[in-house]
């Protein structure tokens, strides 16, 4: 028998065997009753019993020389009424440890900080690949792309990426935690999908203007972010900053939902299989896989979004469906897969970096908070 106490919760593994002087369980099919109204099946495996009354003392045990330790029925009878036997967790289960009370403000703040940090790091590292991808998608036919100014617009883009990433994760994390408490465990994937879409919708108010300015600069239309904003508003009005907003949502809501759902579900499965928390390289690999798969799936949507955002006041395309029809008619269906190579590479590596930084920052914030709470609970004595 093993006993483990965590935060006032005592967990006991009970091995039921035949023991001299004890009630017998002759086989796994027979019932071993500690009381007339609360029978307990004898099993070949340890039974996980949790006591939710921390003031209860440890079970009384009797041992003889020929058997494993067993708990006496008299000692167990009073405890059995307030215990339950854990069932094995399914793949979709997310309750792998002690559940903490839902703290919206704490989760929000951690998400904002971790999301902002992860967004800035990944955007800076992969901006040149994103620039090449954008130029490939914006070019018509087999036109050549230029490789100068691959970091064009980075500073202005970071000014938008920081709040956008902070808003996304800041909304995603508490929404996810709340939905996981509402949905049954076998629907955890739906909770992740929904939270990802909600986070994407919230952050789109900042992400779309940032994306419009970035892509106009990447294609050489403007020299600086302030000039881009000023001229776009002057020529197209404020709505010019939200050019392609519908296509952006069409691409990014499914993208955010699928990527984060894949990432979370893969982490859950790996964690249950390994029976431990994931380390940084494992988070990076899972993040890269989730990002690459999602990037490939959503490439056609990304092509349409890019064409609508960079067209400016030319109004070559009247909307999402007109853009799809025109591209397919004039350039062929394969044009909708333009830039898929750089996109998969960019998002795959980006997912690896983003989720690694995200998880490491969240862990750092959690450890720092726990340390601060421990210091307050046990202040050092001043002489």
319 near 246, Cβ under 8 Å?
yes
Q: What are phi and psi of 7, to 5 degrees?
A: 50, 50
Give domain limits for the chain. Answer: 3-85, 104-372
DSSP 60-93: PEE--TTS--EE-HHHHHHHHTTEEEPPPPPTT-
Percent of the chain topping pLDDT 70: 68
Q: Does the domain formed by 104-372 have CATH 1.50.40.10?
A: yes
For the residues 188-193, what does the mean pLDDT come to? Answer: 94
Confidence of residue 46 (pLDDT cuts 50, 70, 90): very low
Average pLDDT value over all residues in the chain: 76
pLDDT of residue 21: 42
**Whole-number Å distance between alpha carbons of 19 and 42:** 13
Confidence of residue 136 (pLDDT cuts 50, 70, 90): confident
Least confident window among 53-67, 130-144, 231-245: 53-67
**Whole-number Å distance between alpha carbons of 292 and 343:** 8
Confidence of residue 140 (pLDDT cuts 50, 70, 90): low
- Tokens coding 40: 């307990």
More confident residue, 324 or 67: 324
245 near 206, Cβ under 8 Å?
no
**Whole-number Å distance between alpha carbons of 115 and 111:** 6
Of 15, 252, 295, 284, the residue nearest 129 (C-alpha): 295
More confident residue, 313 or 163: 163
Query: In DSSP terms, which residues pair with 14 in a beta bridge?
Result: 47
Residues in contact with 309: Cβ distance below 8 Å, sequence separation at least 6, in sequence order: 211, 212, 215, 216, 243, 244, 247, 248
For the residues 84-98, what does the mean pLDDT come to? Answer: 43
For the residues 141-145, what does the mean pLDDT come to? Answer: 58
Residues in contact with 95: Cβ distance below 8 Å, sequence separation at least 6, in sequence order: 89, 185
Tens-digit pLDDT profile for residues 9-39: 444 444 444 444 444 444 444 434 344 444 4
Burial of 293 (0-12, 13-18, 19+ CB in 10 A): middle
The pTM score is: 0.64
Tens-digit pLDDT profile for residues 216-256: 887 778 878 888 889 999 988 888 899 888 878 888 899 99
Q: What are phi and psi of 292, to 5 degrees?
A: -65, -45
Q: How many Å from the N-terminal Cα to the C-terminal Cα in the chain?
A: 44
């Amino acid at each position: 028998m093993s006993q483990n106490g965590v935060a006032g919760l005592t967990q006991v593994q009970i091995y039921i065997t035949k023991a001299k002087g004890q009630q017998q369980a002759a086989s796994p099919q027979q019932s071993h009753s500690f009381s007339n109204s609360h029978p307990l099946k004898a099993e070949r495996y340890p039974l996980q019993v949790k006591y939710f009354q921390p003031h209860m003392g440890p079970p009384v045990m009797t041992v003889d020389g020929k058997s494993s330790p067993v708990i006496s029925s008299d000692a167990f009878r009073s405890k059995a009424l307030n215990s339950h036997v854990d069932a094995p967790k399914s793949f979709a289960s997310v309750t792998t440890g002690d559940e903490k009370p839902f703290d919206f403000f704490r989760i929000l703040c951690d998400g904002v900080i971790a999301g902002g940090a992860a967004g800035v790091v990944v955007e800076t590292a992969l901006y040149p690949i994103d620039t090449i991808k954008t130029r490939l998608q914006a070019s018509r036919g087999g036109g050549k792309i230029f490789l100068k100014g691959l970091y064009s617009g980075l500073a202005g883009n970071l000014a938008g990426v920081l709040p956008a990433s902070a808003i996304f994760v800041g909304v995603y994390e508490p929404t996810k935690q709340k939905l996981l408490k509402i949905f049954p465990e076998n629907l955890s994937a739906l909770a992740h999908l929904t939270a990802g879409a909600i986070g994407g919708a919230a952050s789109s108010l900042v992400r779309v203007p940032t994306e419009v300015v970035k892509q106009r600069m990447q294609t050489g239309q403007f020299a600086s972010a302030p000039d881009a904003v000023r001229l776009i508003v002057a020529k197209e009005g404020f709505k010019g900053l939200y050019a392609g907003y519908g296509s952006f949502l069409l691409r990014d809501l499914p993208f955010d939902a699928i990527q984060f759902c894949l990432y979370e579900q893969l982490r859950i499965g790996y964690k249950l299989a390994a029976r431990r928390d994931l380390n940084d390289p494992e988070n990076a690999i899972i993040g890269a896989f989730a990002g690459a798969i999602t990037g490939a799936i959503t490439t056609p949507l990304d092509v349409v979004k890019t064409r609508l955002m960079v067209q400016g006041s030319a109004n070559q395309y009247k909307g999402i469906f007109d853009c799809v029809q025109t591209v397919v008619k004039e350039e062929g269906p394969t044009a909708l897969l333009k830039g898929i190579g750089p996109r998969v590479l960019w998002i795959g590596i980006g997912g690896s970096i983003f989720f690694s930084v995200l998880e490491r920052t969240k862990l750092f914030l959690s450890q720092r908070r726990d340390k601060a709470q421990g210091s307050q609970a046990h202040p050092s004595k001043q002489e």
